[in-house]
Structure 1
Amino acid sequence: MGTISARVPDDLEEDLEEYVDEEQLDRSTAIRKLLSESLAEWRINHALEKLDAGEMTFSRAAEIADVDPWRLATLAEERGITWVGGEHLEDDLEEF
């Protein structure tokens, strides 16, 4: 397991301490949990942006987002993203 060190503004450190207290976690566990959740959210947003721009297939976006296709379809629908059609349709159909 690697080690990450970062300087943070005082107000962010105060928020972290509040989170640690509320969640009853040690500081390292809290930071790992927050980092993991934030990166999972980033992967989903990144995949949806690429899908919306037509830069990847639906199945590849689900893989990048690390969610099942049904979850990705729901998220895409909530954001008004249409992925059916265009040049990636055949690729998507072949992958299923």
Structure 2
Amino acid sequence: MVKREGLDKAAAVRIIGLGIKEWRKQTALKMLRDGKATFAKAAEIAKLSLWEFADLMKQRNIEWVGYTPEEIEEA
């Protein structure tokens, strides 16, 4: 990859690091969506603060509250 893309090793390492960060985020979001992780656990998996994880979800238009507005009003 380094030679083919004309990258130096440091740039290649940065790109791989970005890929791993994105993989962590996607994995955390999937686990939360599938009910396999709590919001806090998903943020931990993504290696983000709770606020950063909430922002990530907002950016990707993902709702994590498992209740409808009507269910919340009834509670």
| Pairwise same-fold verdict (TM > 0.5) | yes
- Structure 2: 5+ residue stretches without partners: 68-75
Indicate whether 1:74 and 2:64 are aligned. Answer: no
Q: What is the Cα deviation at residue 73 of structure 1?
A: 0.7
Q: What is the Cα deviation at residue 13 of structure 1?
A: 4.4
Percent identical among aligned pairs is 34
Indicate whether 1:14 and 2:14 are aligned. Answer: no
Q: Deviations over 1:22-79 (max 9, x none)?
A: xxxxx22122111111100110111011111111000000000001111111111233
- Structure 1: 5+ residue stretches without partners: 1-7, 21-26, 87-96
Indicate whether 1:63 and 2:44 are aligned. Answer: yes
One-letter amino acid of the counterpart of residue 30, structure 2: E
One-letter amino acid of the counterpart of residue 9, structure 2: S
Indicate whether 1:46 and 2:27 are aligned. Answer: yes
TM-score under structure 2 length normalisation: 0.72
Using the alignment, how far apart are the partners of 2:12 and 2:61 within structure 1?
33
Quick check: which has more Rg, 1 or 2?
Answer: 1
Residue of structure 1 in register with 2:65 after alignment: 84
- Once structures 1 and 2 are overlaid, which stretch shifts more, 36-45 or 76-85? 76-85
One-letter amino acid of the counterpart of residue 48, structure 1: L
CA RMSD of aligned residues (A): 2.0
SS at match of 1:54: coil
SS at match of 1:50: helix
Moved over 2 A (4+): 12-15, 77-86
